[in-house]
Structure 1
Amino acid sequence: MAGPEEEEGSPAEDAPGSDPRVRLLGERVVRSLRLKPERWERCAGSPEAQPLLRGFLEGAAGQPPLLLVTLSPAGQLALSTQLPASPGRSKALFFLRRGPGPLSAPPGPGELLYGDLPASSLEHFAALVEEVVAPVLANQKNHHSWPHVVSQDIMRHVHSLKSNIFVVIGQVKGKTLLPLPAGSERMEYIDCENEKIVELVDKSLVHAIESTVIEWSYQIQGALKRESSEPLLQGSNPNPKVELEFWKNRYEDLECIYNQLKTQKVRKMAELLDRVQSSYFPAFKAMFRDVVEGEIWAPSLLLIAQTGI
């Protein structure tokens, strides 16, 4: 006759610490989030966490292959099978099961993926692209077996990815960030005072600057045409503080745009367009003038909004 410790469904058998796969997850969580093992043991043993752990480890039907471990501001661990709708304030850890069925103990090669999810995922992704992906793809030593057309296309897509990420980061922060054109790092070596600048300058650089002027115009016009009445037109009922916040953000955004346009590099880009008699130079001047006028009026409009409140 089996003893109590061998009976099916006994507490000793169901204890989370008895499963080596749970211990493996715990080791990764403790190491990544720098916690004491007891914190993980309490979390894994809670009634809320046990079904999620069991479903993830056994590959139950309908169970997502993702397990997310988050740390609340109060220091409490929590498990979830879905990514949060909004980013948290602290780092999280994910586990991803690659195949169907129960997870092996220990997991085989490629059977389990895990990694950190930083609190600022977008900035983390931007840093990854800037410091890892872009340098690898842009390294000419990696292009030796590629046709020139393929190499140029890869470089164009890499720059486009970096620019798009830069713009999105600005949108998340409520700012209009203007990505520089490909090759803009060469502007500091170009002498716009040289009489032969038209013949010496790389035409592809001029084309890149002209394309950037078009993109900037769309971004800036979008910022200038934004109206404080938009929430009202969308059916919401904004209070006076919303109006004040709009004009405050507008002033800060226009100041941000102006500071970008007056940098030395952008001024040299405008000077180059002028020297080569580009048809986009008048568009650049008009764009800059619109920003200056908007920035001049923004403080007065902000003051009026503050007085009204």
Structure 2
Amino acid sequence: MSDKGSRSGTPKASSRKSSKAGTPKGSKSGTPKGSKSNTPLPTDPQAMTQEITEEEALAAGASNGALQPTEVDVTAMGTSNELGETETEAEQEEAVQEEDDRPSVISLIKERVTVQGLTEELWKEFHDEAINQFINDPGTKLMVAYMDPVKGFLVEHAIPPYLVDQLTYFIKATSVKELNADTFLTKVQYGTIKGNQIESLLRIMMGIYAPIFFENTSWPDSIKNDFSAQLHKFLANLTDTRWKLEGKTVLYIPTEGLKLASEEAAKNKDLVQRLETAMIHWARQIKEVLSNQDAFEMAENSGPLDEIEFWKNRCADLTGISTQLDKPGVKKITEILTLAKSSYVGPFLKLSSEIKEGSRQAESNLKFLLVLKDPCYELSEAPMT
């Protein structure tokens, strides 16, 4: 017989005091208090290492929390290399294009040849050969192009032995070993001479070189003074020679110092000395003209027509000198030398007055002699009986 209140022989009190499923009171499913996951904390070192590796991989930018090997975009690299090669080829083609667009030395020379009557059809193969020799041969320093009355257009490396109407010259600097399009304009001097060579030389010297030399302020005074003095003498003789070929007397008028005030210029002893040299040359020219009358009077077998021609030329020469003496340059130099108390001013002014008087005398003589020109010409053409 069992006790009252007991089922299956188990005491009632004992059953109420026992815990559910052997779990301590206050604990739910064996999970520590404050934990929301039923997964136990890892205690395996290998698992911890794996988690650290995954975090590093995530920090390094790997996707899906796993470290993946870096993949190289071969297509991108190939495209980059192809672009680089394309750019290099484009630069090379551009350089070649620039080289092709650059004019050749032969074309530069042909463009600068200025000879009357020259046409494109006159350029022949032997002309190009002469030009190539000038370009490639370091020993060839001169080349000229001109029109020969018999042989036609010529390109040679020597000055022709006779006068030509027009000549283009090219002079290569002595230091040039290789002539190309880049060095042509700096290493080759060229120009054209037309008409008489002395006339062209005087025109170039007076128009280009003399102003450059006299206005140069970078030279030391000792060098400039000596060079200027020699240049004035050369220009004076060149001017005299050039106009004597036409039977005229032309005074060389220096331009140096004419822009300065007369008082300032008179204080420059070197300048005064050079201006005195010019005045001495004027005096020599005037004396030569005045002495020509005596030479004609001593000539024999001169008839009336010869005397008329003499006074005609003399009148033109003396009148030309008298006009030149009234030019502002001559008056300026005379004023400077007067302020500098030069001893050459007095004799020059005396010769100047003689020129003016001789000019009036020549005009008067020519006026009356021209009345006899026609009768004398008829007598000279009349048959002798």
Output aligned runs, 1:65-80, within 5 Å.
69-71=145-147, 77=153
2:277 matched to 1:211? yes
Partner of 2:85: none
Q: Distance in 1 between matches of 2:313 and 2:113?
A: 37
Is the 1:261–1:288 contact (alpha carbons within 8 Å) kept by the matching residues of 2? yes
The share of aligned pairs that are identical, in percent, is 22
Per the TM alignment, residue 159 of structure 1 is displaced from its structure 2 partner at its CA by: 3.0
Match of 2:193 among 109, 118, 131: 118
Distance 2:357 2:267 in 1: 33
Aligned to 2:344: 280
Secondary structure, counterpart of 2:285 in structure 1: helix
Farther-moved stretch of structure 1 (252-261 vs 70-79): 70-79
Q: Distance in 1 between matches of 2:337 and 2:112?
A: 54
Deviations 1:29-74 (A, max 9, x none): 6862473332344xx89xxx9xxx99xx7xxxxxxx9875433689
Confirm or deny: 8 A CA contact 2:337 2:345 kept in the other structure: yes
In the TM superposition, 1:260-299 aligns within 5 A as: 260-271=324-335, 273-274=337-338, 278-299=342-363
Q: One-letter code of the match for 1:118?
A: I
Letter in 1 for 2:331: R
What aligned pairs does 1:48-59 form with structure 2 within 5 A after superposition? Answer: none
Q: Which residue of 1 aligns with 2:286?
A: 220
Q: Which consecutive unaligned segments of at least 5 residues does structure 2 have?
A: 1-104, 134-140, 174-179, 378-385
Give per-residue Cα distances to partners, 1:163-209, cap 9 Å, x unaligned. Answer: 3333333323432222235744046x236xxxxx9xx9415254444
The answer on whether the counterparts of 2:236 and 2:281 sit within 8 Å (CA) in structure 1 is: no
Task: Describe the superposition over 1:103-142 as per-residue Cα deviations: whole angstroms up to 9, x where unpaired.
Answer: xxx9xx99xx895542233343234334543355445453
- Counterparts in 2 of 1:137 and 1:269: CA distance versus 1, 3 Å: closer
**Inter-partner Cα distance in structure 1 for 2:106 and 2:305:** 47
Instruction: Kindly indicate whether the alpha-carbon contact (under 8 Å) linking 2:214 and 2:228 is maintained by their aligned counterparts in 1.
Output: yes
Trace 1:1-309 onto structure 2 (pairs within 5 A). 28=109, 32-33=113-114, 35-41=118-124, 69-71=145-147, 77=153, 83-88=160-165, 91-93=166-168, 115-120=190-195, 121-138=197-214, 140=216, 142-143=218-219, 146=220, 148-181=221-254, 183-186=256-259, 189-190=261-262, 201-202=266-267, 204=269, 205-227=271-293, 243-271=307-335, 273-274=337-338, 278-303=342-367, 304=369, 307=373, 308-309=376-377
Do 2:254 and 2:278's aligned partners in 1 also have CA atoms closer than 8 Å?
yes
Q: Between Structure 1 and Structure 2, how many residues are aligned? A: 251
Instruction: Answer yes or no: is the 8 Å Cα contact 2:266–2:339 preserved in 1.
Output: no
Structure-2 change in CA distance of 1:114 and 1:133 (3 Å): closer
1:139/1:183 CA distance change after superposition, 3 Å: closer
8 Å CA contact 1:170–1:177 kept in 2: the answer is yes
Give distance in 2, aligned partners of 1:299 and 1:153: 43
CA RMSD, 1 decimal: 5.0
Note the C-alpha offset of 1:259: 0.9
Counterpart of 2:160, as a letter, is L
Rounded to whole Å, the distance in 2 between the matches of 1:141 and 1:30 is 35
Normalised by the length of structure 2, the TM-score is 0.48
Q: How far apart are the structure 1 equivalents of 2:168 and 2:306?
A: 36
Alignment CA distance shift 1:218-1:239 (3 Å): same
Conservation of the 8 A alpha-carbon contact between 1:182 and 1:208: no
- Distance change >3 Å, CA 175–CA 40, structure 1 → 2: same
8 Å Cα contact 1:30/1:37 also seen in 2: no
Note the residue ranges of structure 1 that are not aligned, 5 or more in a row. 1-23, 58-64, 99-105, 192-196
Q: Which structure's relative contact order is higher, taking Cα pairs within 8 Å and 6+ residues apart?
A: 1
Larger radius of gyration: 2
